[in-house]
A = this chain, B = another copy of it.
Amino acid sequence: MDKVLEISLLYDFYGQMLTDKQRDIIELYYNNDLSLSEISEAVNTSRQGVYDLLKRSEKILYNYEEKLKLLKKFMDHKNKVLEAYKLLDDMGNSPEVNKVKEILGEIIETEM
């Protein structure tokens, strides 16, 4: 998994364990795609300070996953649901099949 996607997913899972400032910086960098210099101006902190905060926040997120492994477990579940969904796709278009697909589709589309 590429790092940007991985951090975004970890942030969805464990972001609530970060401080407001740590969250701000993760969002500006990973979700809003700002550079360190731009974030430095936006949050009135030195570029080095922003960099340190970013690395520290990433480390916290990785540490939670290393201990809890909940992202991995959820991804495993979601992949199985996707596999089931694809098999249903090959089973035609009856109302029964569609109902099951609808339920599984809700899971596939859920963000954490």
Binding site for B on A (CB under 8 A): 13-14, 16-17, 67-68, 70, 73-74, 76-77, 80-81, 83-84, 87-88, 90-91, 96-97, 99-100, 103-104, 106-107, 110, 112
Contacts and interface: CB of A to CB of B under 8 A. Distances in A.
Contacts of A100: 84, 87-88, 91, 100
Contacts of A97: 91
A67 B112 contact: no
B17 A68 contact: yes
5 contacts: A16-B68, A70-B112, A77-B110, A80-B107, A87-B99
Given A73-B112, A80-B106, A87-B99, 9 more contacts: A13-B68, A13-B70, A17-B67, A76-B110, A77-B77, A81-B104, A84-B84, A84-B100, A87-B103
A95 to B, nearest CB: 11
A19 to B, nearest CB: 12
